[in-house]
């Protein structure tokens, strides 16, 4: 597929897996920054029209966003860099994505903690002060312990160790 072929890019973006994952979900899961950049370089002309927002906020059958699937710190930073280039009238978008819960009421931070990805947890927490409070409240209300607990001073407990996020 050639970079200058907008029709091929549109077809690629409209396709989904049986689980409802878009090409961006799959690329984020496997850390394929090249694919994410390819999609967004082409979509940048459509930023005002909302196509880039639609691609970034798309949910699969489990309600996961692309951020739920981001497998590397570099991928998370790339997605935030794309979000920061969105139109100024949408400053809420990245905070909304960070706080977006799937059908299991879990955010992208839950996923990062589950995978033990302290690097991703730190990036997500530095982008939104409230996201770790939301996650901690959910885990407390669901009776889960050990994997994630809010502690004073903006700390998270990850798999038996405590890491400072401040």
Predicted confidence (pLDDT) per residue in 24-61, tens digit: 899 888 888 888 877 776 655 554 446 667 778 889 99
Predicted TM-score (pTM) of the model is: 0.70
Question: In terms of domains, do 97 and 160 share one?
Answer: no
Residue finishing a domain among 88, 104, 120: 104
* Cβ(60)–Cβ(101) below 8 Å: no
Question: In terms of domains, do 99 and 110 share one?
Answer: no
Alpha carbon distance 27, 66 (integer Å)? 9
Predicted confidence (pLDDT) per residue in 76-124, tens digit: 888 877 777 766 656 677 788 888 899 998 888 888 878 878 788 878 8
Q: Which domain holds residue 145?
A: 106-166
Question: In terms of domains, do 139 and 166 share one?
Answer: yes
Question: In terms of domains, do 100 and 132 share one?
Answer: no
Number of domains the chain contains: 2
DSSP 115-163: TT-HHHHHHHHHH-TTHHHHHHHHHHHTT--SS--EETTTEEEETTEEE
Predicted confidence (pLDDT) per residue in 81-94, tens digit: 777 776 665 667 77
Q: 40-54 burial, b if ≥16 CB within 10 A, otherwise e?
A: bebbeebbeeebbbe
Question: In terms of domains, do 40 and 50 share one?
Answer: yes
């Amino acid at each position: 597929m050639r970079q200058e072929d907008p029709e091929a890019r549109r077809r690629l973006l409209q396709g989904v897996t049986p689980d409802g994952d878009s090409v961006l979900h799959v690329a984020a899961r496997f850390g394929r920054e090249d694919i994410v950049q390819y999609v967004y370089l082409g979509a940048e002309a459509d930023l005002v029209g909302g196509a880039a927002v639609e691609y970034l906020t798309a949910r699969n059958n489990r309600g996961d966003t692309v951020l739920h699937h981001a497998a590397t710190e570099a991928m998370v930073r790339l997605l935030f860099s794309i979000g920061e280039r969105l139109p100024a009238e949408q400053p809420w978008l990245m905070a909304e994505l960070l706080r977006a819960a799937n059908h299991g009421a879990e955010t992208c931070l839950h996923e990062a903690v589950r995978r033990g990805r302290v690097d991703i947890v730190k990036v997500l927490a530095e982008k939104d002060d409230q996201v770790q409070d939301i996650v901690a409240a959910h885990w407390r209300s669901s009776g889960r312990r050990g994997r994630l607990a809010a502690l004073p001073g903006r700390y998270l407990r990850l798999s038996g160790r405590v890491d400072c996020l401040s």
